[in-house]
Amino acid sequence: QADDQQRREIWEKNYGVIESHNKRYREGKETYEMGMNRFGDLTTEEFVKLTKMRTKMSRMALTRSTNVMLSATDLRLAASKLNVTSIDYRTMGYVTPVQDQGICGCCYAFSAAGALEAQWKKKTGTLIPLSKQQLIDCSTSEGNIGCRGGLPDLSYGYIIKNGGIQAEATYPYAMQDQNCTADKSKIVATLSDWKFLPVGDEQALQDALVTIGPVAVAIDGSTINFQFYRQGIFSDSKCTIWNLSHAVVLIGFGTEGSANYWTIKNSWGPYWGEKGYFRLAKNKGNQCGISQYGVVPFV
């Protein structure tokens, strides 16, 4: 564990990276601004530990997933009838407030819950924040490992087997691993099925977003530029399409000038990024692996 002096040095080094990037941003050479935040005294290695999804598992999941994958052709056909050029599910009341996962590596639970909350709202007209803690505590039987990581699809597998999921209100977030105390009498949302989206296909991702709703997705969230993202349309040459370290919720897409972007809900609190959200370059070579892992829940 680093001492105060080392923390100070890490902070200063990070501050230098932010400042030099923002100089380029002010000169019009970057599409987004960075900013100091509460991750300021963490090295990128330490920071990544906080975000982690089970990367190897996500690749494994995709290799065995063709039988549970939606067809890009079907999605395209359905979406082409709607001709939507931008969408933001926040404006439609499908998205719960941004929360902060803190020091527990459970982004997968926030991602899974976020996409399901939207489907439940679509079905019932009521938006209910669902329990992330229940997924952390109770989905280990499906292969998730609590605060050490997991996957949205495994979380959905648990919800189906359990017969549903409780609300945040009756099983609140504790930011740590706990014993499972799920109570079936308190279930507020159910799930009948889930499907993967075609891998590496941003058009299919857009079509699913338009025709079905918000999508549980994963990205490479391991770069220093992402750690200190503040606002704008993010892209990073250091981002890979294979190191899917962070699960998030895709809630929209649009254009700003000539730039296309995805709008994504994060789980690092409302003070990170654009009030807890970020915009990511769209149709820019599968930026940060945005279309490598997409899962949609069906209620």
Q: What is the pLDDT along the chain (299 residues), one digit of tens a residue?
A: 668 999 999 999 999 999 999 999 999 999 999 999 999 999 988 898 777 676 555 555 555 555 588 999 999 999 999 999 999 999 999 999 999 999 899 999 999 999 999 999 999 999 999 999 999 999 999 999 999 999 999 999 999 999 999 999 999 999 999 999 999 999 999 999 999 999 999 999 999 999 999 999 999 999 999 999 999 999 999 999 988 999 999 999 999 999 999 999 999 999 999 999 999 999 999 999 999 999 999 99
> Is residue 225 within 8 Å of 47, Cβ to Cβ?
no
Nearest to 44 by CA among 224, 236, 243: 224
What pLDDT is attached to residue 59? 56
Token digits of residue 248: 């998030």
Size of the chain, expressed as the number of residues it contains: 299
> Is residue 72 within 8 Å of 198, Cβ to Cβ?
yes
Q: Which domains does the chain have, with CATH numbers?
A: 51-298 (3.90.70.10)
For 217, the enclosing helix (H) or strand (E) is strand 215-219
What pLDDT is attached to residue 55? 52
Task: Tell me the whole-structure pTM to 2 decimals.
Answer: 0.95
Q: Which of 14, 162, 243, 266 is catalytic?
A: 266
Separation CA 152–CA 130 (nearest Å):
14
104 catalytic residue (yes or no):
no
Non-local (6+) Cβ contacts of 231 within 8 A are 32, 33, 35, 273, 274
Q: Which of 107, 147, 239, 288 is catalytic?
A: 107
DSSP code per residue over 47-87: HHHHH---HHHHHHHHHT-GGGB--HHHHHHHHHTT--S-E
Classify 244 as helix, strand or coil. Answer: coil
> Is residue 225 within 8 Å of 296, Cβ to Cβ?
no
What pLDDT is attached to residue 265? 99
**Residue 46 phi, psi (nearest 5):** -65, -40
Q: Which of 162, 225, 246, 288 is catalytic?
A: 246
21 catalytic residue (yes or no):
no
246 catalytic residue (yes or no):
yes
**For residue 130, what is the DSSP state?**
B
